[in-house]
Amino acid sequence: MTQDLLAPLAAAKWTFATRRVDRALIAGMDTDFAAARAGDLILAQIEAIGKHQCVQLTSGRPSNIFAGDMIVLACGARYAPDQFEGLAEIDPAGADLLAGGGCIGRMVARNERVKVATRLLPIGRLLDAAGRPVNLDRFALPASNRSDEIPVVVVLGTTMNSGKTTATAQLALGLRRAGYKVAALKGTGTGAFGDFNQYADTGAHWVADFTDAGMVTTYHEPLERVKAGLRCLLGHAAERGCDIAVMEIADGLFQRETGALVADPWFRRRLSGLVFACGDAVAAAGGVAILARHGLRPDVLTGILSCSPMAMAEADAATGVPVLRKSDLSDPAEANVFALRALVGERKAA
């Protein structure tokens, strides 16, 4: 690597999405941004601060960013109704910081309640010694043939910020308290350390997300690629001796990849338990009805609605599905009910 390239890379802030990258493989860079594909590593410079005033480092802490800072992140798309929709496209004249975990692309839509995206100037696409683009998929965990060996409780929700991550973490905590070796997994979404760290704080035996399967984001990835990522994570959970997995699927039932998974026969067969996070009783009723069309029925409802006894009663009356608070999910006795049902393969039909 030339000294001219080494200096900006050494000073750059490497984002969470790049945490598995072997930096010793970086030998050069080009500016063929039109050829960039999802997962390619990009060196960029901060031009103007917008929505994101920090990036998440590989060390697991946030770092303030300033105009002129160099950062290394991955080309990717994003779907976040509370923030941005973006595509895995790099314009050499300027690109957008789509997520603080390290996703660069082109913003195509923005929630009016948030600021415009932080603007980035692409400097180069990172290459190896053979001149090939360095992509996150090169550093993914290897495929595993043991994915069917571990039961999995899936956490779905009505939308972004409906309470899925809290539910995943609290159930993982309850299962750990009940004596199980639990894997806490993020199956889809956009790479960030918030959910990852929240899972790790529960004492889960193993924590991983789709970035470990080589994707900065699952948005616009082919369904088979997403499913391969789920199999990879579940297989490695089994290899690490986990008894059960709790897996969060991002966003809501109408989101592209989530909807495709719910409609997929393999995914539906793979569920050993289903938790559904909702914001209110109306959302709960609608979500339960949508899931029923696919032959699925949640074991419990939870999420934002569980903060209100009135909303809990309304949801229970409207759906017939019990509602659990986060304190219930983290209770070892309640969590053990999930584990026993999952271990013997009992699932309720819609």
SS (H, E, C) 284-346: HHHHHHHHHHCCCCCCEEECHHHHCHHHHHHHHHHHCCCECCHHHHCCHHHHHHHHHHHHHCC
Q: What is the pLDDT of residue 6?
A: 65
Split at pLDDT 50, 70, 90, the class of 346 is low
Say if residues 98 and 84 touch (Cβ distance below 8 Å). Answer: yes
Residues 263-292 pLDDT 10s: 999 999 999 999 999 999 999 999 999 999
Contacts of 262 (CB under 8 A, 6+ apart): 156, 253, 268, 290, 291, 294, 296
Distance CA 336, CA 292 (A): 25
Return the pLDDT at 348.
46
Of the listed ranges 37-41, 76-80, 141-145, 335-339, the one predicted with least confidence = 335-339
Q: Domain 147-344 is classified in which CATH homologous superfamily?
A: P-loop containing nucleotide triphosphate hydrolases (3.40.50.300)
Reported in sequence order, the residue ranges of the chain that DSSP labels E, i.e. its strands, are: 13-14, 28-30, 41-48, 54-56, 62-64, 70-75, 78-79, 84-87, 95-99, 103-110, 118-127, 152-157, 182-186, 206-209, 244-248, 273-277, 300-302
Region 13-25: mean pLDDT is: 96
Asked if 52 contacts 58 with a C-beta cutoff of 8 angstroms, the reply is: no
Q: Which of 205, 233, 207, 212 is nearest to 146 (CA)?
A: 233
Q: What's the whole-model pTM score?
A: 0.94
CA distance 129 to 152: 41
Write down the pLDDT at residue 218: 98
Length of the chain: 350
74 phi and psi, to 5 degrees? -115, 140
Percentage of residues in the chain having pLDDT higher than 70: 97
- % of the chain surpassing 90 pLDDT: 91
Instruction: Choose among 24, 41, 236: nearest CA to 141.
Output: 236
* Of 111 and 1, more confident: 111
Longest CA–CA span in the chain (Å) reads 67
Res 161: pLDDT: 86
What pLDDT, on a 0 to 100 scale, did the predictor assign at position 206?
Answer: 98
In this predicted structure, what is the pLDDT of residue 159? 86
* pLDDT of amino acid 39: 98
Beta bridge partners of 248: 155, 186
The CATH 3.40.50.300 portion of the chain extends over 147-344
